Amino acid sequence: MADSWMVVGLGNPGPNYAGNRHNAGHMVLDELAARVGGSFTLDAPRKANVLAGRLGIGGPRVVLVKPTTYMNVSGGPVGQIAKFFGVTEENVIVVHDEIDIPFASIKLKRGGSEGGHNGLKSVSQVLGSRDYLRVRVGVGRPPGRMDTADWVLQNFSKTEVKDLPFLIDDAADATELLIKEGLVAAQQKFHGKADQASKA
């Protein structure tokens, strides 16, 4: 379906990971599901929670996907569901945590390096391409010499949790704008916000 989009939220399964920085993608997908007005259904054979609907009345068709696999093998469900719904890589959007962006900032891009993100590496490998869209949810870098893996597998701090709903809302807005108006329009709106945040 040429007018269909697939939005994938990366994260790890289960309640032990639900509040982790690494699960920012899942959090954004939950917000988008609320906006679509539906509930995720488990697609057991393809190992993902899936919701198909429209963004607004008469809006674009979207398939929201939260893989139920661990992050580093997210690509399998993404590839299978894209094939099932006939969504090409150009219309695949992956929402994920990004340590190279300050907390509470959003940036968007198409293609390029995965930046060491194992979920993105898995998606690129299965799709056979890096040429998909990314909504990058800033979680910031770990303090001191803390290992990056330890950092992203921790829950957001008490201070961050206060601003987390605004970050998730912004990321969902960015995803909607990306679908409805394109990459440049979304970048112009949200990259300005990110630049202001980094100077604050």
27 inside domain: yes
Confidence of residue 21 (pLDDT cuts 50, 70, 90): very high
What percentage of the chain carries pLDDT values higher than 70?
Answer: 95
- Model pLDDT, residue 198: 53
What integer is the mean pLDDT of 8-19?
A: 97
148-183 pLDDT, tens per residue?
Answer: 999 999 999 999 999 999 999 999 999 999 999 999
CB 137 within 8 A of CB 197: no
89 inside domain: yes
pTM above 0.85, yes or no: yes
User: Does the pLDDT at position 197 exceed 60?
Assistant: no
Please work out, in degrees rounded to the nearest 5, the angle formed at the alpha carbon of residue 11 by the alpha carbons of 32 and 150. 135
CB 171 within 8 A of CB 40: no
138 inside domain: yes
Mean residue pLDDT across the chain: 93
CATH number at residue 79: 3.40.50.1470
Whether 17 has a binding-site annotation, put simply, is: yes
* Candidate list 22, 26, 96, 117, residue with the active-site label: 22
Give the number of domains in the chain. Answer: 1
Confidence of residue 133 (pLDDT cuts 50, 70, 90): very high
130 inside domain: yes
200 inside domain: no
Is 22 annotated in the active site? yes
What integer is the mean pLDDT of 27-43?
A: 96
Candidates 191, 40, 65; CA nearest to 132 is: 65
Whether 72 has a binding-site annotation, put simply, is: yes
User: Does the pLDDT at position 194 exceed 70?
Assistant: no
Residue with tokens 């409805």: 180
101-125 pLDDT, tens per residue?
Answer: 999 999 999 999 998 899 999 999 9
Give residue 70's domain range: 4-192
197 inside domain: no
- Model pLDDT, residue 1: 45
198 inside domain: no
51-70 pLDDT, tens per residue?
Answer: 999 988 888 999 999 999 99
199 inside domain: no
What stretches of 63-157 show up as alpha helix (H) in DSSP? 75-85, 118-127, 148-152
